Structure 1
Amino acid sequence: MPSINSSSDTPAFPGDVPTIDLPRIDLKKLSSGDKAESNALFKTCTETGFFLLDLKVADGGNDLLKEVEDAFQVSKSFFTSPEEDKCKFPLLPSNLGYKQMGGTKIEDGSPDRCEIYGFPQDDLLGLGESNNRIPPVFDSNRALLISCLRRMHSVAETICRHLDAHLDLPRDTFEAIHSLDKASPSSMRFLHMPPQEPSNLKTSLMGHTDNGSITVLFNIIGGLQILPPHSCEWKYVRPKPGCAIINLGDTMVQWSGGVLRSNMHRVVPPPGAQAASDRYSLAYVLKPPKEQSMSRLKMGRVIPQEEEDFVGDCTYGEFHSKKAAGVREGKNLADNQEGKGTNVKIQIDPQQLVSVA
């Protein structure tokens, strides 16, 4: 997915699996203020909260795609190193470091099948106490990681500006909340899922909604699935070269009073011939500062004010901690399946969640 040609040496995505037809939004048109493209963006953000963002012809788009491709190679060098070397950099409370395979649970309570290396935004940008004890392969490419993070943040800012307008919020409302000048738990995460035994296929990364604001995701091989609204049938996202996958997180649902949507998704073994390949991905997760209030925004004519607030006046730090604890234990899975707040629950058969058929 990072570049036009990246998938040329990858087995083809099969045509006989259920897929979801995500809208393709053009970043160049968004950046130029194209009204139809902006309307299409807002529509998908209220319906599934997922879309493909075409970067190929946007200013700086190909630069970002090239940097992401280079970052993929860096992460492969790390993930293919011996396990004892990777474990020298354990995951810290700041979310810097290495999460081993099985470090969290999936829906049936068994260990996950995904390893992750995370970089807090504050660490990369020097907004907090920098921890220089990172793997040499990442440390020697720190400039690349910083540039890549800044470009992905710029993409998220463009989306924020359009959502401000459609929600009738003062200009730069979301952009100001997520300013790069403010310390926040935003992060860049490299993920690796190795091939699984065909006789024992399970979810690699459990079904969940993101607990941030906007996620900018890149991957080449399939495996990402979405549970469409009001449905119990998981559908694959077909990777599209030159596009990022964008999805909204729970904070946007809370602040918008349920106008915007964060949707259930998970990662399973890639379909078809791709199942024999290692799956790598890169995600930038935009999050607000820990002290940011999660109360519904009290402004504009679009956000409903007559209903009770979903979470009350808690901070994002409190909100994040509660959700993250649930995810680690394989719980708190379907909070926003109906597009409301985190108090909304639906019942989903755990076996259906785990099944990768």
Structure 2
Amino acid sequence: MPSATLRQPPSIPKWGRPKQTTKKLDWAEIKVIDLSTYDEPNGKQKLAEELRDAVHHTGFFSVTGTGLTQEEIERQYDIGQAYFDLPLEEKGDPKYRCDFAKGNYFGYRAANEKKIMGTAVLDNVESLNIPKFIPSNSHEPFPHFLHPFRPEIESFSRRSLDIASKIFTLFSLILELPETYFSDQHRYDDASEDHLRYMMYHPRPAADDAKVQNTWSRAHTDFGSLTLLWSQDVAGLQLKTPAGEWKYVPPVPNGIICNVGDTLSFWSAGYFKSTIHRVIRPPEDQAHIHRLGLFYFVRPGNEVDIKPVASPLLRRLGLVGEDAEEREPVRGLEYVRERVKDYHDHGDYADKKGKKFKVRNLEIEDEAS
């Protein structure tokens, strides 16, 4: 990506946080972890114990006390909204597009270009995935419009992974591993498929939504290690509980919704739960809103081996044997690129209930309804 521009960023409109729904919804119970206590004496150990049940059973939790101010967070929403407000010929310039044929998810993905579930209804989500600001990504797309905002986007990107690294420390402690075990697999300066994402769901007519079972994002698990989603006030994100029920993920003031991804599930031999989730049409008092989201997706380093870890806890539970580290590994880049191609390199987001994704010894049920 080009070097930072020194001139003052142009003025852009302020994003207005939507009002929360007044409808009575079936909300999931989400554990909230306050990271402001992380550096207190025995703070990490206490937080790890607080988190254990959530990551083992639901895979979803929320963190507060991250050190990011609400002003800093909403500035990123301002930038994302300004980009999506651009004409399609500018934001969707071919040189900024995701190259799904190569499994590359960096860049811009346009809405209304793919069909849903074999119908004539079109996908209503557009996104911009911004890779880490490291030399190995210098050739990746970075839209010209964003050059003046680069310093603050880069700062937010780096601080996002700092937050994730604290969570990875808690995961390591839960599995009785050295504290830096998982953060060492996800260093900012190492090449990986990490990205900061701005995402916009555009409202659709109720009749069209009905044709696709009100689906805005089909049921899936996340590809990588950990997903950070800055708390979303437009209801629609749902998780599938261990009992098989769909429940709404509640907003958490000043919080980040987090969920375990598939690579953490692979590493932990399933002890960490990679939960199926989806996005559906919001309740009627919010169904007209353009639903803007802010994410950071953490992927394993390109050269990192993904295989069950020799954790004392996992051994006691019988989830891994003494030969755990001798299994054939799959490298981070290989896994993520193959997963992106499988999911996105086609013209129809069809239901894949019961189908599997497999790359050598790693297998996951890709989606479920």
TM-score using structure 2 length: 0.80
Aligned to 2:7: none
Matched to 1:224, the amino acid is L
Question: 2:65 matched to 1:74?
Answer: no
Instruction: Return the alpha-carbon distance in structure 1 between the equivalents of residues 190 and 224 of structure 2.
Output: 15
2:126 aligns to what?
115
Structure 1 residues 132 and 228: alpha-carbon distance in aligned structure 2, compared to 1, 3 A threshold: closer
Structure 2 distance, partners of 1:66, 1:152, is: 15
Q: Specify whether residues 30 and 44 from structure 1 end up closer, same or farther in structure 2 by C-alpha distance, changes over 3 A only.
A: farther
Match of 1:193 among 194, 201, 223: 201
Offset of 1:18 from its aligned partner?
Answer: 1.8
Q: C-alpha separation between the residues in 2 aligned to 1:285 and 1:142?
A: 18
The answer to whether the 8 A contact 1:335-1:342 is kept is no
Q: What amino acid is the match of 2:321?
A: E
Q: 1:228 is aligned with what amino acid?
A: T
CA drift at 1:36? 4.0
Residues 7, 36 of structure 1: alpha-carbon distance in 2 compared, 3 angstrom cutoff: farther
Closer, same or farther: CA 132–296 of 1 in aligned 2, 3 Å = closer
Q: Provide, for residues 56-114 of structure 1, a one-character-per-residue CA deviation record: whole Å limited to 9, x for no partner.
A: xx5x232xx32221011111111112222221132245433210114556555764220
Render the CA deviation track for 1:163-202: whole Å, top value 9, x for unaligned: 1111011230111111112111111111001111122213
Matched residue, 1:3: none
What amino acid is the match of 1:86? K
Whether the 8 Å contact between 1:167 and 1:300 is mirrored in structure 2 is yes
Does the 8 A contact of 2:228 with 2:295 survive in 1?
yes
Deviation, structure 1 residue 247: 0.7
- Counterpart contact for 2:228–2:297, Cα < 8 Å: yes
Tell me the residue number matched to 1:228.
241
Contact 1:217 1:245 in 2 (8 A): yes
Cα 1:257/1:100, change in 2 over 3 Å: same
Q: Does structure 1 residue 305 correspond to structure 2 residue 320?
A: yes
| SS state at 1:259 partner | coil
- The separation in 2 between residues aligned to 1:313 and 1:72, in whole angstroms, is 38
1:129 pairs with 130, 133, 138, which one?
138
Give 2:272's aligned residue. 260
Q: CA deviation at 1:7?
A: 10
Residue 333 of structure 2 is aligned to residue 317 of structure 1: yes
2:291 maps to which residue?
279
CA contact under 8 A between 1:52 and 1:244: conserved in structure 2? Answer: yes
Separation of aligned partners in 1, 2:90 and 2:311: 51
Query: Which residues in structure 2 correspond to 1:92-111 (within 5 Å)?
Result: 92=99, 94-103=104-113, 106=116, 111=122
Report how many aligned residue pairs link the two structures: 330
The structure-2 alpha-carbon separation of the partners of 1:298 and 1:71, relative to structure 1 and needing over 3 Å to count, comes to: same
Please list every run of 5 or more consecutive structure 2 residues that lacks an aligned counterpart in the other structure.
Answer: 1-13
Which residue identity lines up with residue 54 of structure 1 in the other structure?
T
Assess if the C-alpha contact under 8 Å between 1:185 and 1:289 holds in 2.
Answer: yes
1:48 has 2:58 as partner: yes
Offset at 1:333? Answer: 6.2
* Equivalent residue number for residue 228 of structure 2: 216
Measure how far apart 1:128 and its partner are: 3.1
- Whether the 8 Å contact between 1:226 and 1:235 is mirrored in structure 2 is yes
CA deviations on 1:30-75 (whole Å, 9 max, x unpaired) are 34343443212121011111111123xx5x232xx32221011111
Contact 2:306 2:330 in 1 (8 A): yes
Q: Distance in 2 between matches of 1:239 and 1:16?
A: 14
Identity %: 24
RMSD of equivalent CA atoms: 2.9
Q: Tell me if the contact between 1:222 and 1:238 (Cα under 8 Å) persists in the aligned partners.
A: yes
Alignment check: 8 A CA contact 1:220 1:241 kept: no
Residues 192 and 345 of structure 1, relative CA distance in 2, 3 Å threshold: closer
* Unmatched tracts of structure 1, length 5 or more: 1-5
Q: Distance in 1 between matches of 2:17 and 2:336?
A: 39
Question: Are residues 259 and 108 of structure 1, via their aligned partners in 2, closer, same or farther at CA, if it must alter by over 3 Å?
Answer: farther
Residue from 13, 28, 38 that aligns with 1:30: 38
Q: Distance in 1 between matches of 2:49 and 2:227?
A: 20
Q: 1:239 is matched with which residue: 238, 241, 251?
A: 251
- In structure 2, do the counterparts of structure 1 residues 125 and 335 end up closer, same or farther at CA, with 3 Å as the change threshold? farther
Higher strand share: 2
For 1:178, the equivalent position in structure 2 comes to 186
How far off is 1:298 after superposition?
Answer: 2.4
Calculate the TM-score normalised by the size of structure 1.
0.83
- The answer for the alignment partner of 2:163 in structure 1 is 155
| In structure 2, C-alpha distance between the alignment counterparts of 1:315 and 1:113, rounded to whole Å | 32
1:165 corresponds in structure 2 to 173
Amino acid at match of 2:253: P
